[in-house]
Amino acid sequence: AQRVTQPEKLLSVFKGAPVELKCNYSYSGSPELFWYVQYSRQRLQLLLRHISRESIKGFTADLNKGETSFHLKKPFAQEEDSAMYYCALRGRGSNYKLTFGKGTLLTVNP
């Protein structure tokens, strides 16, 4: 079975502070990991995926297979980063479905 755990429901930081949203997963194999984001009154959308090794809006995430983690990081948070963030895992083969964590609500205070 595949499972995604986001241990923090809420995370509050000040503008300019570093932010890290935690994500741990359970999957027997090599999964694909994603971060999706939902800004207020907008639809859920892809932020980044581990295979692309890209930085989007200053956010990065590194897949750590040893710790089965895929934490999302940004060195200097901005107010516009306030949103709901979901970590998601896609298995392979017959388990090729996208499983989401429960999400973390990030609030960046001025």
Partner 1 sequence: EAGVAQSPRYKIIEKRQSVAFWCNPISGHATLYWYQQILGQGPKLLIQFQNNGVVDDSQLPKDRFSAERLKGVDSTLKIQPAKLEDSAVYLCASSTGWTVLDNSPLHFGNGTRLTVT
Helix count and strand count (H, E) for the chain: 0, 11
- Residues in 3-62 at the binding interface with partner 1, rule: CB under 8 A: 4, 6, 9, 32, 34, 36, 43-46, 49, 51
Residues touching partner 1, count (CB under 8 A): 24
Counting Cα atoms < 13 Å in the Cβ hemisphere of 10 gives 2
- Residues in 59-88 at the binding interface with partner 1, rule: CB under 8 A: 86, 88
**Least Å from the CB of residue 64 to partner 1:** 20
Q: Are 106 and 83 within 8 A, CB to CB? A: yes
Does position 102 interact with partner 1 (CB under 8 A)? The reply is yes
User: Which residues contribute to the site for partner 1 (CB under 8 A)?
Assistant: 4, 6, 9, 32, 34, 36, 43-46, 49, 51, 86, 88, 92-93, 96-103
